[in-house]
A and B are shown apart, each in its own frame.
Chain A
Amino acid sequence: MDKVVASSQPQSAYFLDMSKKEVETHTLAVVADNEPGVLARVIGLFAGRGYNIDSLTVSETIHEKHVSRFTIVTTGTPKVLTQIKHQLERMVPVHSVADLTVQGNSIARELAMVKVAGTGEKRMEALRLADAFRARVIDASTESFIFEITGKPDKVDQFISLMVPIGLVEVARTGVAGISRGAEGMRV
């Protein structure tokens, strides 16, 4: 019984050497009743079972029906990711869960507000880069700008990193919101 090395089975209480090599990042969309405590329930599930949350956004989407939609970006092995989906699905207020990464063909966007301070050439450079990234100026003073940028997370990342040497002061990011392409929608 010594073909133990590369077990494909996940490990539970027995030998917790969760293999780190095969982790993936997935985006999940969750539709749930917007009842008190529903966010705490979702977060508590992740915290209690040791799952990762890389990004989480939530807002009520259908006001009349009190329905909220979460977009959760999480990292784990494929088995853990499947488990996360099942654990979310069995929560009583959850209507449906979609793994947008598994489905493929989905869009993820986030918004950031980026405050940059500086004068002279740095100020001009900030404006030029903002133009290239299609970021809008939403506030300005003689020594600063606030840019609004939307896009894929990596585009936002890149814009922010470019602003660091120019005079980045602070950033507010929404986290990712995701949706699938095409005519089909999630069950509400």
Chain B
Amino acid sequence: MATGELMTGAEIVLKALADHGVEHVFGYPGGAVLPIYDEIFQQDKVKHILVRHEQGATHAAEGYARSTGKCGVVLVTSGPGATNAVTGLTDALMDSIPMVCLTGQVPTHLIGNDAFQECDTVGITRPCTKHNWLVKDVNDLARILHEAFYVATHGRPGPVVVDIPKDVQFARGKYVGPKNIEHKTYRPQVKPHQDAIRAAVDLIAKAKRPLLYTGGGVINSGLVASKLLREFVKLTNIPLTSTLMGLGAYPAAGKNWLGMLGMHGTYEANMAMHDCDVMINVGARFDDRITGRLDAFSPGSKKIHIDIDPSSINKTVQVDIPVVGDVAHALEDIIRVWKAKSHELDKKAMAGWWKEIDGWKATNCLKYKANKDVIMPQYAIERLYALTRDKDVYITTEVGQHQMWAAQFFKFEEPHRWMTSGGLGTMGYGLPAAVGVQMAHPKSLVIDIAGDASVQMTMQEMSTAVQYRLPIKIFILNNQYMGMVRQWQQLLHGNRLSESYSEALPDFVKLAEAYGCVGLRAEKPSELDDKIKEMIRSPHPVLFDCRVAALANCFPMIPSGKAHNEMLLGEDVSDEEVGSAIDARGKELV
């Protein structure tokens, strides 16, 4: 269609999606988006994936975005379509995932009339999006759509909503292309100030016990950022730990890797964080799961914080050298200045620092009591990892104990391989996220490491997987509890397990068969390997019911209100110690 020609709003939507290179849209139709669905029917550039619930569409788009680095796109109807998308939008906001969500709206003349399937979508989604728009004039539609993609993907990425009334979808207007589109006011700072870079380099050069603390920002910044991070580590031999969101930016097989830090991080990572003298935060945000007790968080260190969002700096932890900018740019500059000044860290001090770290590593904090009769959840993930090592594998998770065990026991060598709900902690994220990941990587092995409670929250998306022949593997660590809730009840509430038992669980194998996919079950450690191999071999979606020890706790753990050097280590902790690990003050914390 020639530029300048009049198009309907619905045509403009599809044209804009195609112009932004969108190949997949996750959505669910309804009255207020029928014109757009009619356009989808009549074209073949943009493929629509029909989910079973709008929340599933948002998580699928998140998985798609996080595994590709591209923007996820969601299309839902007005009212319940939009409200069902709210959880996924909030999840994407918390984890900085680029997402454009298009919502249908009742015709403009009905807005405010309590019309059928009307809700105040922009009002409801204002606090859970980076920005949102209600399009009242079809001639604004193309510009707003381009702006939406710009805002979602530039600066700190995040979700945006474009709310399009049905009459605007029918109305005819002009289409303008996305060339040179930038927002008239939104200008995130990408290049860091060179003064800050020089100050950071000077501080690192004098460090005797430096530590890199990396986060999701490295992943969001793109593959170059991970490459530069690895280069910098190689250049300096600084030990490195990462947040949950940052796993894979530095390879788990790398010799400087200390494991994840924070509440369920490794002993060595948390001790190093506590005792370092220069902390280099690269694209992380001092989340409370990381810092634990703030007044005892890394008390002796000078802190450098690289973040693209100025509001992240000094929000919870006061830092000495803020570096506002994109991680890749900042690392590139730091490496350049480092090399130009021929810096080298104090060899003797570094040898001592590494010796200390090796001492902490020797604690072997992830060890657990092996069992010949019952599958330990940690063992299940170790085996899953071992048996998929040579595969092109992507992992998603739900939220809870299984998520932490996955983070501890599955090793990631590359970025974009690990999709999990970190900030919002959304149970039910992993299955639809796996759908999105598999859509983007049809040939890869996509596994959702799940829990028996979480997986039931979005189970209906198995139907989506079957419809689109997406061979996702749902590996359920079934302990018949909301394990993390149960663990906290044991920690805080005298082991009174209020409502945390998974009563009336479905037979997951039969459920799989009912959906038309494959169901597998493993109950003994001896059969686990064979069943996992069977799962991997299957060309179909698989629900894997892995029956694991019911009452295992996730360790190591920094109990609420405690410092990094006050961790509970796993193997030898008695039930009494677990029951008294958190004091009265810590109980109030989340």
Q: A residues engaging B (CB < 8 A)?
A: 1, 3-4, 7-15, 33, 36-37, 40-41, 44, 48, 79, 82-83, 86-87, 89-95
Q: Could you write out 19 A-B pairs with CB less than 8 Å apart?
A: A4-B295, A7-B294, A9-B294, A10-B316, A11-B294, A12-B294, A12-B316, A14-B292, A14-B294, A14-B561, A15-B561, A37-B126, A37-B134, A40-B126, A79-B314, A82-B314, A90-B155, A91-B131, A93-B131
**Which residues on the A side are within 8 Å of B127 (C-beta)?**
44, 48
Q: How far is the CB of B510 from chain A (nearest CB, A)?
A: 42
Cα–Cα, bound, A183→B563 (Å): 51
List B contacts of A8 (CB < 8 A). 318
Q: Across the two chains, which residue of chain B brings its CB closest to A48?
A: B127
Residues of A within 8 A of B293 (CB): 14-15
4 closest A-B pairs (Cβ-Cβ)? Answer: A86-B311, A13-B288, A92-B131, A7-B295
Decide yes or no whether B547 CB sits under 8 A from chain A: no
B126 and A92 contacting across the interface, CB-CB below 8 Å: no
Residues of B within 8 A of A94 (CB): 185
Q: Collect the chain A residues with CB atoms within 8 Å of residue B442's CB.
A: none
Residues on A with C-beta less than 8 A from B310 are: 86, 89-90
Q: How far is the CA of A7 from the CA of B316 in the complex (A)?
A: 12
Contact: A40 with B123, CB < 8 Å? yes
Q: How many residues of B contact A (CB 8 A)?
A: 40
A92 close to B122 (CB less than 8 A): no
**CB of A50, distance to nearest CB on chain B (Å):** 13
Assess A9 versus B589: contact at CB under 8 Å? Given A15-B293, A94-B185. Answer: no
- Which of chain A's residues have a CB closer than 8 A to the CB of B184? 33
Distance to closest chain A CB from B172 (angstroms) = 23
Do residues A37 and B122 form an inter-chain contact, with CB atoms below 8 A? yes
Q: Is the CB of B134 within 8 A of A9?
A: no
Report the minimum CB–CB distance from A10 to chain B (whole Å): 6
A79 to B318, CA, bound (A): 9
Smallest CB separation, B196 vs chain A (Å): 16
Residues of chain B lying within 8 A (CB to CB) of residue A87: 311
State A1–B566 Cα separation when bound (angstroms). 10
Known: A4-B295, A9-B294, A14-B293. A83 touches B314 (CB 8 A): yes
Q: Among B184, B185, B291, B560, find the residue whose CB has the most chain A CB atoms closer than 10 A.
A: B185
Whole-angstrom CA separation of A11 from B296 in the bound complex? 11
Task: List the B side residues contacting A92 at CB < 8 Å.
Answer: 130-131, 151, 183, 185-186
Which residues of the partner chain B approach A3 to less than 8 Å between Cβ atoms? Answer: 299
Q: Report if B317 contacts A (CB, 8 A).
A: yes
Contact A9 B316 (CB under 8 A): yes
B415 to chain A, nearest CB (A): 25
Report the Cα distance A9→B297, complex, angstroms.
10
Q: Are A4 and B186 in contact (CB under 8 A)?
A: no
Q: How far is the CB of A99 from chain B (nearest CB, A)?
A: 14
Chain B residues contacting A83 (CB-CB under 8 Å) are: 311, 314-315
| Nearest chain B residue, comparing its CB with the CB of A67 | B185
Chain A residues with CB under 8 Å of B314's CB are 79, 82-83
How close is A76's CB to chain B, nearest CB, in angstroms?
13
A47 to chain B, nearest CB (A): 9
Among residues of A, the one whose C-beta sits closest to the C-beta of B585 is: A15
The answer on a CB contact under 8 Å between B288 and A12 is yes
B126 touches A9 (CB 8 A): no
Residue from the list B183, B563, B589 in contact with A13, Cβ < 8 A = B589
